[in-house]
Structure 1
Amino acid sequence: MSNELAPSDPARFGLTTFSSLLPVREHIVGEDPGSFQGFHDGIMQSLAPVTPYESVIAENLVAIEWELIQHRRMRDAGLRKIIGDAICDAVVKKEKAAHDDALDEAWDSHVESGGTEDDWEAPFSFDRDDAAVKGRDLATRAISREDVEFAAACDEIDAMGIEVVELMGEAYRSSSVTVRKHEEKLQELERRRREVKRDFDALQKARPVEAEVIEL
């Protein structure tokens, strides 16, 4: 005895496909082109709805799962920006400290040569823009998908006396409003997913039962 049924023919309901029950989904900027369709087809094949209503509920599940993925991507992008800004600031601070040390050495040399404050002229100035460029470069490499480049960037950060794990932890602790909004949305979507999946499972259990005739 089984409650597994063969999928209904959409033509019985005047449809070409069950997916035509819902509006065509438009592309959203920021998504990987073409990724949704493969995701959709894989999940729908796994859920295997056999009636129009099951298809609608299954489509809801697909939409929720996809939205979960997108909110995780957006949250992670926000965290990467926070971490990147922290790395950039750390590099600028390091460059400024190196500049100040060099300036102190130049001053000491000036004094040793008999110079005074009246005839002192700083031999160089701090280029904050150049330091920021170096910071952004390191921050970019710190989120590289290339393992070697990423590892090298982490080593550079570690050499600056910054724990990469602390950077990540600080990003979570001081996350922006946008990041927190995504965290809240993820919790809401996970709750909705459980509810909709429960409804879908109930529909499947309520399917007509196919029985085999047993000859006595």
Structure 2
Amino acid sequence: MPNDISPRDPGRFGLESFAQVLPERDPITGEDPGSFDGFHEGMMRSLAPLTPYECVIAENLVAIEWELLQHRRMRDACLRQTIRGAIRDAVVAQRKAAHEDALDVAWDRFIEDGGDEDDWEEPVTFDGEAAERAGDDLATRAISHDRDVQATAYAEIAELGQDPVEVMSAAYRDFPSPAKRHDAQILDLERRRRDVKRDYDALQAARPLDGAVIEG
């Protein structure tokens, strides 16, 4: 006979809802507001626990899946920060080089006009803060959800003498320590997910059979 997969009544276990078997989860700063609730609801519908204990194990699975997502988000944030720094440095270097070239031209003109070295003053100073802001702006546009904006940013990065793919490759190669820790956590969580899912599947497979008792 097939296993009985009809929903259990929480009232049979002295509960108004199976959600009462676990404490309410508080949000964590950095999560998308309200995102966990929708994620939790969808996962629990998919796992379909029918008893309080199944609910506990299902909650463990949901927690692991959610933590996996958050570690991937944090790892990706580390990568984006590394890439942002590389793009900003490239913009600053380009603008500084352009500034130096302009100074060379101004110096040559100054000397040609009979100027004395002791009287030389730089006509303009390099604005490093403005260059950094421009670099941050380019890095922000490079991850825009607007494809046209992103494509334009990629073209500007190429004009800096950098291939966007190579910039990303360098970020992975020089993986910052926090990102490596997230990667290690992801591997551990994936192992835990397999173990808990195996236990959950076994628990569901052991549900009582739906059938009449045969008296001997």
TM above 0.5: yes
Find the counterpart in structure 2 of residue 133 from structure 1. Answer: 133
SS of aligned partner of 1:184: helix
Return 5+ residue gaps in structure 1 as ranges: none
Partner of 2:146: 146
1:101-127 CA-partner distances (Å, limit 9, x unpaired): 111111111222222322322211111
Q: Secondary structure at the match of 1:210?
A: coil
The secondary structure found in structure 1 opposite 2:117 is coil
Gaps of 5+ in 2: none
Question: Pairwise mapping of residues 185-196 of structure 1 onto structure 2 (< 5 A)?
Answer: 185-196=185-196
* CA deviation vs aligned residue, 1:137-173 (integer Å, no higher than 9, x gap): 1111122222221221111101111011111111112
Give the TM-score normalised by the residue count of structure 1: 0.94
Partner of 1:118, secondary structure, is: helix
Following superposition, the deviation at residue 9 of structure 1 comes to 0.8
Identity score, percent:
59
Question: 1 CA distance for matches of 2:48 and 2:122?
Answer: 75
- Please report how far the alpha carbon of residue 4 of structure 1 lies from its aligned counterpart in structure 2 after TM superposition: 4.0
Deviation (angstroms), 1:40? 0.7
Deviation sequence 1:17-53 (CA, Å, 0-9, x none): 1111001001111111111111111111111111111
Q: Alpha-carbon deviations, 1:60-98, whole Å to 9, x = none? A: 001110111111111111111111011111100000000
Task: Specify the alignment match of 1:88 in structure 2.
Answer: 88
> What is the letter of the counterpart of residue 175 of structure 2?
S
What aligned pairs does 1:37-186 form with structure 2 within 5 A after superposition? Answer: 37-186=37-186
Whole-angstrom distance in 1 between the partners of 2:2 and 2:32: 40
Tell me the distance in 2 between the aligned counterparts of 1:127 and 1:33.
Answer: 39
Q: Which amino acid aligns with 1:203?
A: L
**2: CA distance between counterparts of 1:159 and 1:191?**
44
| Stretch of structure 1 that moved more, 174-183 or 96-105 | 174-183
Question: Structure 1 runs of 4+ off > 3 angstroms?
Answer: none
CA RMSD of aligned residues (A): 1.5
Residue of structure 2 equivalent to 1:3 = 3
Distance 1:123 1:37 in 2: 59
Alpha-carbon offset, residue 212 of structure 1: 8.0
Deviation, 1:211, is: 4.2
| Whole-angstrom CA distance in 2 between matches of 1:150 and 1:4 | 53
User: What is the TM-score of this pair, normalised by structure 2?
Assistant: 0.94
Q: For residues 111 and 198 of structure 1, what CA distance do their matches in structure 2 show?
A: 80
Instruction: Give 1:206 shift.
Output: 1.0
How far apart, CA to CA, are the structure 1 residues paired with 2:118 and 2:26? 70
CA distance in 1, matches of 2:4, 2:78: 44
One-letter amino acid of the structure 2 residue matched with residue 89 of structure 1:
D
What amino acid is the match of 2:179? V
